[in-house]
Amino acid sequence: MNSLRKTDLIMLVFGVALFIVLQGLITGRILNSFWQLNLIILCINIILSVSLNLINGYTGQFSLGHAGFMAIGAYVSVVLTTNFHWPFLIALLAGGAGAGFLGFLIGLPTLRLYGDYLAIATLGLGEIIRITIMNIEYVGGAAGFMNIPHNTTFTWAFFLMLATLFIIKNFVNSTHGRACIAIRENEIAAEAMGINTTKYKVMAFTIGAGFAGVAGGLFAHCFYIINPTSFTFMQSFNYLIMVVLGGLGSITGSIAGAFAVTFVSAGLASWPEFRMIIYALMLILLMFYRPQGLFGYIEITDFKIFSRFRGGRKS
C-alpha cells in the first residue's frame, strides 16, 4: 500500500507539473483556440476511454453503449445549469449520478448476457437513449439544446480527468477490481470461487457509466449547443478504438489510445472523409503486429524507473 501511495503521489506531482506547462502555453497564447479546444477534448476522451476500459478491458464485458451514458450526463447537466442555474460542478456530478443510475438499471438485466449478445444489447440501448432524447421537446428534440453556458475550461477538464484516473486506478487495485479481473479471465472459475459475478459486472458497468456521464457534461459545456447526433453509435465506436488501440486492461494504454485518436482526428479536420479510413488502417496494422494493443496489460508504473518505489533495485 505504501508503494502505491508513493506512486500515486509521483503521478499527481507529474500531473500538476504538466498542467502548469500546458496552462502556461494557453495563457501565453502559444496554443491557438483550435488546439486549446483539442486539449479539452483529449481530457474528455481520456475519461471516456478509461471508464470504458473498466467495463471492456478489466471486467471483460463488450459494451457499445458508452455514448448513450455520455448523452444522459450531457443533457442532465445542461438542463441543471441552463434552466435551474445550478453550480457547474454539482450539475456535472448530477449528470454522472444520472448516467450511473441508468447504467445500474440497464446492467442488472443485460449483464447476464455474454459476448456478442451483450454488445448488441448495449448498442441498442445506446440508440434507445439517443432516440428518446430526440423526441423530448423540453431538451430541444432533434434540433438540439441551445444557449448552454460555456463552463468547461481546460482546468476543469484536466483535474476531473486526474480524479477519474485516480479513482479507477484505485478501484482496479482494490479487492473489487481484482474480482472484476478474475471475471474477465474466467467467469465460471470466478463464480466457483465464490465471487458474485453479476454484482461485480453491474458495479463496473455503473462506475463506467457514471464517469461517461461526467465526461458528457464536460463535453456539452464546451459548446453553446448540443444535438442528439453527437451521441451516435459512431461515438461509442471511437471510444472502443481508443481502448483497443491502447490495450484492453491498461489505464496507460487508454490514455495513449485517446491521445492518438484525438490528435489524428484533429490533424485530419480538413479531410474528414479520410478519418475513418485512417482509423481502420491503424486497427488492421495493430491487429497484425501488436494484437494486445500498444501497452497490453502494462502500466507506466511497471517500468523500471518506478521499481525503487516498490522496493525493487534501480537498474
Residue 309 has pLDDT above 70, yes or no: no
Q: What is the pLDDT of residue 315?
A: 39
* 215-265 pLDDT per residue, tens: 999 999 998 899 999 999 889 989 998 999 999 999 999 999 999 999 888
Q: Is the pLDDT of residue 203 over 70?
A: yes
| Sheet strands (E) in the chain | 145-146, 225-226
212 pLDDT higher than 90: yes
In this predicted structure, the answer to whether residue 201 has a pLDDT above a threshold of 70 is yes
The pLDDT value recorded for residue 266 is 87
> What is the domain partition of the chain in residue ranges?
2-233
Judge residue 30's burial from the number of C-beta atoms within 10 Å of its C-beta, 0-12 exposed, 13-18 middle, 19 or more buried: exposed
The answer to whether residue 134 scores a pLDDT higher than 80 is yes
CB 217 within 8 A of CB 82: no
Instruction: Give the β-pairing of 145-146 and 225-226.
Output: antiparallel
Say what the pLDDT of residue 288 is. Answer: 86
Q: What is the predicted pLDDT for the residue at 63?
A: 92
pTM here is 0.93
Cell numbers linked to 219: 463535453
DSSP state of 226: E
pLDDT 10s digits, 65-115? 999 999 999 999 999 999 999 999 999 999 999 999 999 998 888 887 877
Q: Does residue 314 surpass a pLDDT of 50?
A: no
Q: Are the beta carbons of 241 and 257 closer than 8 angstroms? A: yes
pLDDT of residue 313: 45
Q: Compute the average pLDDT of residues 197-222.
A: 96
Q: Over pLDDT 90: what percentage of the chain?
A: 69
Which of the residue ranges 38-42, 61-65, 246-250, 301-305 would you say has the lowest mean pLDDT?
A: 301-305
The string of pLDDT tens digits covering residues 170-191 is: 999 999 999 999 999 999 999 9
